[in-house]
Structure 1
Amino acid sequence: MSQTDFVEARSFDHIPERERHGNVTGQFQLWFMINATLITLLTGAVGTLYKLDLASTLLAILIGSIFGTLFQAFHGAQGPRMGLPQMIQSRVQFGSRGAVLPLAAAMLCQFGFAVFYIQTGAQSLGNLSHFAHPEALQVVFGVAAMAVAIIGYRLVLRVERFASYATLINLVLLSIAAFTWLPLRGLLSQHHFAVVAFLAQFGASATYQIAIAPIVSDYTRYLPSRTKGSAVSSAVFFGTLLAAVWLEFLGAALSAAFPNADLIASIRDLGDRFGFGLGSATMIIGAISCLIACAVTLYSGTVAVLSAAEAFRPIRSTASLRTMTIGCGGLLAIVAVVSMPPNLLDSFSAFLSLLGYFLIPWTAINLTDYYFVRRGAFSITDIMMPNGGIYGKWNKAGIVSYGCGFIAMIPFFSTSLYTGAIASKLNGADIAFSIGLVSATAVYLFLMRRFDRAAELKVVVLAPLNTLDSHDALVGTDMGTSPSGHLYAADH
């Protein structure tokens, strides 16, 4: 096996058809494993943190997860058609340099998640081994995740293919243990409903799913272009939704039963009560799941960094460049982990709230443009140009819409760090996500009301090939080349 086969060289660049591989089943397993981590337990504990009863918490988890997963699933269909990582596609809506705005948000999102994955994975190993130096475990875990991310997509697929079966069995046994040992009937009979608490859990579950949106096409872009978009969206939707709801339900039940206990310790204790070494197995499987997810976030965070940098200076994607960037990002994440306070749940809850505020306007603009404005017709060649080609360096419509969406949410912010004026009048209820979605979408549609799609499509089809060689031409029903060899994506 050559170094090219072993260590992935691709990052922000387009994946040509000859390098496409995989299938929808593999994507389902991948996205199931992305959420099948112990950190997902924390998302399900937000309702309990706000004193919400278990039944209402479970309902908020289900509705919020479905709502958030819809966005990431629609992003997933973009990958095979365009062959590009998720966030560089934002150059269409924001311009090559204007896209630095959502790219920065995605970078902080992914490296932020890496911090929590490292902390949770190391805690799982520490809980198992009772190691006296947690910082050393965090460093080792972070370095291991960096190594997996450097090797890249093929290794991630191979590991998760086997890990997904072990994780599924583990979750089934933990669920049996929960029904056996936890006082679920009594907990479900209690009623402590509050709108603020319900919205907090809804928002946390929805944001947790939306947070995956900036990385979906990073992996679905490797699928053959002939893969049906609906099949890809379904794999992403059901894979992440199943894992999220399952783990968050367990997290909610454990936090309701043991409100003052550490969730990682609680899930270990639940497995120990079941017997057969389930507690220890849960810690091992949980650490492996966190390792895979951490590698994925480091990978995508690196793609975001290089995509942003490439807009200002042409960069050639190489294995050594990926290695260096992942190494720098991973080291920063490790430093952040070592410096974090031990109260993981409070830190993670605040992180999710802030994350949603930055990502909501972007996902609204990106999906509106893809499905309603340009309807899947893009020039891959121009997207890959540092000067933005036909999309320009700065796209006023996307930038202004993002700014308006974000500003409109500020009075509705409700976090431990800041509570907006309107949120205060709503007793702290956080409905900022709905305000951001509606306002960013409305402003973008208004600014693009005179957009001439037919005229742009003619340019897309006839423009000369500038950045991709003829071997990169895609085949299939959704992708093609112009008579002059220009690479484009369109809904023919």
Structure 2
Amino acid sequence: MKIKNSTLFLIWAGAAISIAEVFTGSYFAPLGLTKGILSILLGHIIGTLFFALGGLMSFRVKKPAIESTKGVLGERGMVFIGLLNVLQLVGWTAVMIIQSAKAFNGAIGMSTAIGIFVVGISVLLWTLFFDNEAYWINDIAVVLLFILTIFVVLYLKGGKIASVTGDMSFSGAVELAVAMPVSWLPLVGDYTINAKDGKSSFIYTFAGYFIASCFMYFIGLYVALKTGGKDIISYFASIKTGIVPLLIILLSTVTTTFMDVYSAAISTLSIVKAKLSRKSLLIIYSIVGLIAAYLFPMDNYQNFLYAIGSVFIPAYTVVFEDFFLMKSKSHSFLNVPATISFAVGTIFYNYLTYFGTNLSKWFITPTIGTIILTAVIYPIMKSLNKREEKIYG
């Protein structure tokens, strides 16, 4: 079934309108308003461009997101990326449930443990009664969530912008902005595969996510600056608004987390010959995400986002360079040059993230540096591999 352009726009706007996006935006407060906004925009331009290119690739090859990487990475490479995607999606499911449960605790005093159970069961019930085809429900939820978010922000009208202390660097902030859209990369194609045309798959996917995600980050930044460093969950706890934030939290969590669970199921079906049906996998991953929410170390949330970037940025740099620019022949088993380039890129990303902060003054953020290095290494590795094949083949 073809997806209308407006629906495609709202699907990804809805994915971005979530408590996790607002929460992440609050990390930018130490940079101040101007630098905070600049880092949000720069990071989202890079991250959402990658994200939309992934959607376009799936549309062209007419394969789901993970399966579309097989032509470049080979079967084993596709399986590896698929497994990493399932792992990060379970992590995202847990993060969304935890953040929502904490907001419930702040708004109405519900214990976090009970909140995790309530939100997790809500996600499970959604998977039982609504299939991925129920786009109109998501459309309504997105519009309602946007309106409710505006109402909550209005509680902060008046007053001055506060100065917030912290160790967030401009480079680190850009990475947090890149990581969110990039985390959707391994599933965007599951939706754009049904777009009307390639141009629509790119434009409406990019616009829907970019506009809504930037707006959510701005809200998080604004709330933190107006409250002296409070994140959105702490803000809910302080204003005790009751039903309004609860509606925002529950609707955004259910609609967004379902997309995580749905993609985990699709990825599983793409990489293994599972006898389980899609519906069974949706239920399984909903339950696994609920259990993981009780175990996930939220203190490492920021590192979780960096880990996503360290994996998918170099992997998809190779995929896009090969697919859109080099247009190489399909690799049936494993693309060794791509694997080496991806591994080097991952190591380099982590080095820049934790030890290369002095390069940020040149705008060489981990993402930008990794894209450049990986894009340069991959053609070299391919050239060396061809020479080796000629000599030993």
Establish whether TM, by shorter chain, passes 0.5. Answer: yes
Equivalent residue number for residue 83 of structure 2 = 104
**Distance in 1 of aligned mates of 2:76 and 2:91:** 23
Alignment of 1:287 onto 2:250: yes
Give 2:198's aligned amino acid: G
Residues 76, 217 of structure 1: 8 Å contact kept = yes
Shift in alpha-carbon separation, 1:191–1:97, aligned structure 2, 3 A:
closer
**Distance in 2 of aligned mates of 1:327 and 1:221:** 24
| Cα shift readout 1:336-364 (whole Å, capped 9, x = no counterpart) | 211245xx4x4321211111111111121
Give 1:87's aligned amino acid: I
Written as runs of structure 1 = structure 2, the 5 A alignment for 1:279-358 is 280-310=243-273, 315=274, 320-341=276-297, 344=298, 346-358=299-311
Shift in alpha-carbon separation, 1:203–1:75, aligned structure 2, 3 A:
same
State the Cα distance separating 1:423 from its structure 2 match: 4.5
State the Cα distance separating 1:72 from its structure 2 match: 0.7
Alignment of 1:202 onto 2:171: no
Equivalent residue number for residue 22 of structure 2 = 41
Written as runs of structure 1 = structure 2, the 5 A alignment for 1:59-458 is 59-131=38-110, 133-149=111-127, 151-155=130-134, 157-178=135-156, 180-184=157-161, 187=162, 197-223=169-195, 227-259=196-228, 261-267=230-236, 272=241, 280-310=243-273, 315=274, 320-341=276-297, 344=298, 346-374=299-327, 391-414=331-354, 420=355, 422-423=356-357, 431-448=365-382
**Distance in 1 of aligned mates of 2:260 and 2:182:** 14
State the Cα distance separating 1:262 from its structure 2 match: 4.7
**Distance in 2 of aligned mates of 1:288 and 1:257:** 25
Q: Could you tell me which runs of 5 or more consecutive residues in structure 1 were left unpaired when the two chains were aligned.
A: 1-19, 273-278, 379-389, 415-419, 453-492
Equivalent residue number for residue 24 of structure 1 = 5
**Distance in 2 of aligned mates of 1:229 and 1:348:** 35
**Distance in 1 of aligned mates of 2:125 and 2:194:** 21
**Distance in 2 of aligned mates of 1:259 and 1:306:** 46
- Residues matched between the structures, number: 384
State the Cα distance separating 1:235 from its structure 2 match: 0.9
**Distance in 2 of aligned mates of 1:66 and 1:370:** 21
**Distance in 1 of aligned mates of 2:159 and 2:291:** 37
- Of structures 1 and 2, the one scoring higher in RCO (CA 8 A, sep 6+) is 2
Shift in alpha-carbon separation, 1:115–1:259, aligned structure 2, 3 A:
farther
Q: Which has a greater percent of helix?
A: 2
Shift in alpha-carbon separation, 1:289–1:192, aligned structure 2, 3 A:
closer
Shift in alpha-carbon separation, 1:282–1:145, aligned structure 2, 3 A:
same
Give 1:28's aligned amino acid: F
Q: Could you tell me which runs of 5 or more consecutive residues in structure 2 were left unpaired when the two chains were aligned.
A: 387-393
Residues 348, 370 of structure 2: 8 Å contact kept = yes
